[in-house]
Amino acid sequence: MPKETKNKKEKKHFFKDFKAELKKVIWPTPKQLVNNTVAVITIVLITAVIVFVLDVVFEKMNTYGINQLKQMVDRNQTSNEIVNEETNTNTEIEENAQTQENGEVQTSENVSE
């Protein structure tokens, strides 16, 4: 058989099978089509609203959490500064007390000489 006739027969056979398969398909009625379309759009909108709400909630939680951390760090730095100032003040007071004691001891030594 020539190649061209074989090719034409295959094409005709393909389209016959294609048409037969399309006849087997159960096509939805217009009412079913509308119901299914409405169902899909509704589910998509509900999902979009849920994702939006979760996004806003997580964003607020993240912002609130970061602000809380910043406040904790600021409080911690402030308390560290206060502790450092108190330590420096206590050290100065102790040094002054030691200097005064040493001065009194030296003065009493000077008097006894």
Could you give the count of Cα atoms lying within 13 Å of 88 in the half-sphere of its Cβ? Answer: 6
**Rounded distance, CA 30 to CA 14, Å?**
30
CB 36 within 8 A of CB 28: yes
Q: Is the pLDDT of residue 94 over 80?
A: no
pLDDT band at 67 (very low <50, low <70, confident <90, very high): confident
Q: Is residue 113 part of a domain?
A: no
Q: Regarding predicted confidence, which is higher, 4 or 26? A: 26
Residue 85: domain span: 26-103
Q: Is residue 33 part of a domain?
A: yes
Rounded to a whole number of angstroms, the CA Rg of the chain reads 45
Q: Is the pLDDT of residue 63 over 70?
A: yes
Q: Is residue 8 part of a domain?
A: no
Round the average pLDDT of the chain to a whole number and report it: 81
Q: Which two tokens stand for residue 19?
A: 């048409």
**Rounded distance, CA 54 to CA 56, Å?**
5
Q: Is residue 10 part of a domain?
A: no
| Total domain count, the chain | 1
pLDDT band at 18 (very low <50, low <70, confident <90, very high): very high
